[in-house]
Amino acid sequence: MNIILLAPPAAGKGTQAELLENKYHLNHISTGDLLRKTASRDDDFGKKMKGILESGVLVSDEIIFEILTKHLESCENKNLLFDGFPRNIHQAERLEEMLEKWHDKLDFVFLLEVDKEILKQRITGRRICRECGSAYNVNIDSLKPKVDSICDKCHGNLYQRDDDNEKSFEIRYQEYLDKTSALIDYYQNKQILYRIQSDQSKEEVFQELCGVIEKEMKK
């Protein structure tokens, strides 16, 4: 079983990825982590990667697939869960070719849909404890600290991360739309795109995801 998760920032993609990974014993592939891991290696390729990442230049599809293929060949678990990948149609096509080579295919592309205003509330309300790193949200009643700007657990001061403001949210959200709209069409045409309403609790979202999987597996 191979799955791709698509979601805007703050839609709970990481949480759902973890839940799916555990329930279906999936091999969670984060290309970002793979690139960083490669860059920490002490060989020539690692050094080259480190240079690319530090320069901030976009890593080419060529290099991404070289690393990805090598990594997957070494993995026993070929039930894959992709998170934040593919980023464009070219990568999507190459991913398909790669899976076909292994007589495999993509089964599900889940699009987690959350109303933009809700995402904005989630992001602009985030506060983090400077001392213990606990996360709060001043826009969500159940996640508010008991005392303003003070951590419930350690009484440390809470702060807002630089990019958790409305302006950078708008930029990140627009980037997400630009990047994913073509992919959404692409997978919709292949009839493997499933839209999941994700304005609900993480348990409810997860239940919906599992519902789709179980239903399709029975066919």
The answer to whether 154 contacts Zn ion (rule: CB under 5 A) is: yes
* Block residue for tokens 């959350």: 114
Nearest-angstrom CA–CA distance, 144 and 127: 9
Pick between residue 23 and residue 153 the one whose CB is nearest to Zn ion. 153
Of 115, 131, 163, 216, the one binding Zn ion by CB under 5 A: 131
Q: Could you tell me if 5 and 16 are in contact, meaning their C-beta atoms sit under 8 angstroms apart? A: yes
Positive or negative, the Cα torsion across 200, 219, 217, 112? Answer: negative
Pick between residue 102 and residue 159 the one whose CB is nearest to Zn ion. 159
The answer to whether 115 contacts Zn ion (rule: CB under 5 A) is: no
Look up 172 and say whether it is catalytic. Answer: yes
> What is the smallest separation between the CB atom of 142 and Zn ion, expressed in angstroms?
18
Of 156, 173, 200, 210, the one binding Zn ion by CB under 5 A: 156
Of 30, 134, 168, 200, the one binding Zn ion by CB under 5 A: 134
Q: Considering the candidates 37, 50, 87, 195, report the single residue annotated as catalytic.
A: 87
Closest CA to 35 of 53, 47, 58: 53
> What is the smallest separation between the CB atom of 131 and Zn ion, expressed in angstroms?
5
**What is the CA 116 to chain-centroid distance, rounded?**
17
Pick between residue 41 and residue 130 the one whose CB is nearest to Zn ion. 130
The answer to whether 14 contacts Zn ion (rule: CB under 5 A) is: no
Contacts of 137 (CB under 8 A, 6+ apart): 122, 125, 126, 127, 143, 144
The answer to whether 135 contacts Zn ion (rule: CB under 5 A) is: no
The answer to whether 79 contacts Zn ion (rule: CB under 5 A) is: no
Site size toward Zn ion, by CB under 5 A:
8
Closest CA to 11 of 102, 107, 84: 84
Q: How far is CA 165 from each of CA 90, 113, 138, 171, 197, rounded to the nearest angstrom? A: 32, 21, 13, 10, 25
Mark the segment that binds Zn ion (CB under 5 A) among 12-20, 55-63, 142-150, 152-160: 152-160
- With both helix axes pointing from N to C terminus, report the angle between 166-189 and 89-101 in degrees, rounded to the nearest 10: 50
Pick between residue 27 and residue 134 the one whose CB is nearest to Zn ion. 134
Q: Could you tell me if 6 and 180 are in contact, meaning their C-beta atoms sit under 8 angstroms apart? A: yes
Look up 13 and say whether it is catalytic. Answer: yes
**Applying CB under 5 A, which residues contact Zn ion?**
129, 131-132, 134, 151, 153-154, 156
Catalytic residues: 13, 87, 126, 161, 172
